Chains A and B, each alone.
Chain A
Amino acid sequence: MSELFRVEGLTKNFGGLAVSRNISLSMPAGERLALIGPNGAGKTTFVNLVTGQLQPSAGRVVLSGEDVTGLGAVRRVRKGLVRTFQVTRLFSEMTPEEHVTLTVLQREGKASRILSRFTGNSEVAGEVEGILATLGLLDVARRKVGEIAYGQQRLLEIGIALALRPKVLLLDEPAAGVPSSDTPKIEQALERLPPSLAVLMIEHDMDLVFRFAKRVVVLAAGEIIFEGLPSEVAANEKVREAYLGNYAYARSVA
């Protein structure tokens, strides 16, 4: 498979503390990769480095053969490198419909128009409705986000990301904080992601990881200690030591 996305030797030091050490990995189109590791392993830092919220101390981020390391977060999003947040960052007074509409308009370069109406914008209404329908959010499309269930907010995070038509999607714990009764909905949404999209998911819920991922990368203390098939993870000695020792704990947290 042809490579779509790659990081090379990504390193980040905060003062003397290395939170990411020489991380390299590559993803083809259609990838389903899970990034796991104990708390404090540097998973979210990795996402921040890849998406440009943080600048790496060393290393490169390459998307479709283009080095995007020097670009800021906004430009990387426009190139197709999109993330969701571990703790949802939504506008509590806007509706899901408004979130997705704003995102689609932004993607189309129409978000800074000052003299067209925002509500009932017929140009994008069809696409917005499509995205909300895929995620099962049509019922709550016109409720304020602050009033809808947390599981639905997590789905909306994914919806916003999809509205940007990403090439690479980084999901930072998409099921975190969601009651277990609602996890099937998240899982369903993950199954329906466009097949050609390369997805990297950070997740603590190992059941979800095993069902979703084709490949697993384990991060501990800022370093990759394992890379391989989900079925091989549990057997790996290093992983057992670094991660599965904390598995019960991590699971109770998630």
Chain B
Amino acid sequence: MQVIAQTESVAAAPSTGSRWLRDVTGVILIIAAGLAGYWLFPDNLALLTRVIAIALLVLSIDLITGYCGVATLGQAALFGAGAYAAGIACVNGVTEPLTLIVIGAVAGSAAGLLMGTIMLRAHGLAQLVLSIAIVQLFHEAANKASAYTGGSDGLAGLTVSPLFGVFEFDLWGQTAYLFGLALLVVVFVVLKFIVSSPFGMLCRGIKQDPIRIRAMGSFVFPVLLKMFVISGAVAGMGGALAAISTQVVGLDSVSFELSANALVMLVLGGLGTLYGALVGTVIFMGFEHIVSSINPFHWMTMVGALLIAVVIAAPGGLSGVLERISGSGRGKKGGRA
């Protein structure tokens, strides 16, 4: 299946060196922006940590939608699996934060394996509908299994041990935020490696033309399934981070609404670049925080109008627009990493 043609995403390689330089610069910018957030908004660290958790979810969608061309409206199932797994583990005495992140990643991967196995049976619209049905099923299951998940009241009372036994998760969320930022940077770097590996190239090929990939002698299903598992690990870590930082897991973490919003963030930011996922999440959640505190319906109108505008005017998303502006400014040709 085809998704938004992302012309810049699979780019010519001018040289390995300049690509390296650009990725290193990108990661430094992410760290700088993260630290700037820490200094500029010390009272909003909880929100900023939430942004990081959601950014992981949006990154995970970029892997399967942006790089493999499989559209999904059910990614929160993987996020929620990670969140509940970490939450339940924490309530049952596993309180070491890094362990909880690993538990989230494993649960997310397992959910990704299941979701991929089901979704990849179908194509196009049926695939999209399956993704929705799966997240709704997860939602109902989490609601029903209230003995473990707290049902609609949410799973509360998570007490996380200090990070490395030293750094307490404080009331202001400083530890949680810096922990989340470090996690995001590590995940981002690993994903950059993955998408520029032979496997990443194979995925881009499948996105454009699965028949060609088969004629090259490669199966399509196992490759996509592998990406679903990786994507699940990323989403699951996002869920676990949300659980650790807020100390509750709510039913909204496995919802169609969260899935749809995350997809919207990705498209706003731009598909198939990884940077777009971060840009989209920050812009979306930033505006949401400001506008919806005034009137939630203004917020919906605004997001709707923005989505329509992006579909009509900027299929590469906002980061595509930025790229084009900065690219023409430098007056040099060349793709994006």
Q: Do chains A and B touch in the complex (CB under 8 A)?
A: yes
Tell me whether B198 and A121 are in contact (CB under 8 A).
yes
**Is A10 an interface residue, CB under 8 A from the partner?**
no
Given contacts A74-B218, A78-B217, A112-B223, contact A102 B202 (CB under 8 A): yes
Of chain A, the residue at the smallest CB distance from B212 is A89
Bitwise interface map of A from 76 to 113 toward B, beta carbon under 8 Å scored 1, else 0: 01100011010001111111011001110111001111
Query: Which residues from chain B contact A51 at a C-beta distance below 8 Å?
Result: 215
Of chain A, the residue at the smallest CB distance from B211 is A89
Query: Which residues from chain A contact B9 at a C-beta distance below 8 Å?
Result: 93
**Is A115 an interface residue, CB under 8 A from the partner?**
yes
Alpha-carbon gap, A78 to B215, bound state (A): 9
Alpha-carbon gap, A53 to B86, bound state (A): 45
Tell me whether A114 and B199 are in contact (CB under 8 A).
yes
Query: Which residues from chain A contact B222 at a C-beta distance below 8 Å?
Result: 112
Given contacts A119-B19, A121-B198, contact A91 B217 (CB under 8 A): no
Cβ-neighbour of B201 out of A83, A90, A98, A142 (below 8 A): A98
**Is B219 an interface residue, CB under 8 A from the partner?**
yes
Of chain B, the residue at the smallest CB distance from A114 is B199
Tell me whether B199 and A119 are in contact (CB under 8 A).
no
Partner-contacting stretch, out of B10-18, B156-164, B277-285: B10-18
Query: Which residues from chain B contact A95 at a C-beta distance below 8 Å?
Result: 12-13
Cβ-neighbour of B199 out of A53, A78, A113 (below 8 A): A113
**Binding site secondary structure of chain A:** loop
Of chain B, the residue at the smallest CB distance from A51 is B215
Query: Which residues from chain B contact A120 at a C-beta distance below 8 Å?
Result: 16
**Is A27 an interface residue, CB under 8 A from the partner?**
no
Query: Which residues from chain B contact A106 at a C-beta distance below 8 Å?
Result: 202, 216-218
**Whole-angstrom distance between the Cβ of A233 and the nearest chain B Cβ:** 30
**Is A6 an interface residue, CB under 8 A from the partner?**
no
Of chain B, the residue at the smallest CB distance from A93 is B10
Within 8 A of A (CB), among B193-252: 193-194, 196-202, 204-205, 208-209, 211-212, 214-219, 222-223, 226, 230
**Whole-angstrom distance between the Cβ of A93 and the nearest chain B Cβ:** 4
Tell me whether B217 and A94 are in contact (CB under 8 A).
no
**Is A200 an interface residue, CB under 8 A from the partner?**
no
Inter-chain pairs besides A106-B218, A114-B199, A114-B226, 4 sampled, C-beta below 8 Å:
A85-B212, A93-B8, A111-B218, A117-B16
B interface with A by C-beta (< 8 Å): 7-14, 16, 19, 193-194, 196-202, 204-205, 208-209, 211-212, 214-219, 222-223, 226, 230, 335
